[in-house]
Structure 1
Amino acid sequence: MGDVVRYDPSFARKSDVVGHLGLSPEQKLTSALCMLAYGSPADQLDDYMRMGKSIVLEVFRKFCRAIVGMYSSTYLRAPTPAGLRILLHKASQRGFPGMIGSIDCMHWEWRNCPTSWTGQYLGHNRKPTIIFEAVASYNTWI
């Protein structure tokens, strides 16, 4: 949150002309993360976050721009040609020619799921499950 507020001062809490405090950075970031993590539409968050739909969308756009602006050179960079050759070679050796990475998921049965939540987490086998997702690659630093 501190990084985002430093990168884009519009995330900081400000007061209006009358002196009323505006939205907190926590509210703004939580709304953006809810949209990303849960696929929540902006109009669903207006009651929950006490933010208007247009503000939620504006915050979401600014959040995405801030993350790309701050972290793209470190975490969102494209692989180098040498790195791609290494990944393709390793995958080919393991029987997966042409693959540079893998995304996989599995359903895990949630035996201790609270009864009131069971309906939200019913899986394909009619038992509560959580889906685990993983991204795999030979070497993440390439």
Structure 2
Amino acid sequence: MEEYLQMSETVAHEALNTFCECIPQLYHKKYLRNPTQTDIQKIYEVHEQRHGFPGMLGSHDCTHWAWEACPVAWQGQYHRGDHDGPTIILEAVASFDLWIWHAFFGMPDANNDIAMINVSPLFDCLVNGVGRDTSFSMNGVIYEYIYYLVDGIYPDWATLVHSFTCPTDVKR
């Protein structure tokens, strides 16, 4: 710390803490929130115009981050065989403009995409039937629920639309 930043470790930690406290204050109203009904309509319109996906609220995926400072007692809960050390999993949903409006860090033993989706609060509103109106129309049919674009590992749920990894013809 001292050589690279030319400041003591204490001052560097204080600066980092101040930075971390300021981020929510600066960006909460615009970015660190769920989309409003107006946001949802804008996302729908742009996805349909640019990509031909009416009713899609964003792309959903999970990624692993190496957790080098993971406490030794917890490492078994955050370890996966295909990674060298403990990782924490991040679930995120991003819209067309790369607004990451949903981010959720995993819990112990939620070390893959399927386990993560089962503990995530993203679908709680659908499960509990308390979500806001996100209906959309396609080919004259009104659909009640939003959907997310995902890769092939996710379950076959109505709100998850799988992408084609290897297009086999012009239509796909």
Q: State which structure, 1 or 2, has the greater radius of gyration over its C-alpha atoms.
A: 1
Q: Which has the higher strand share?
A: 2
Q: Considering the TM-score relative to the shorter chain, is it more than 0.5?
A: no
Coarse TM-score class (shorter-chain normalised): 0.3 to 0.5
Q: Which has the higher helix share?
A: 1
TM-score using structure 1 length: 0.34
TM-score using structure 2 length: 0.29
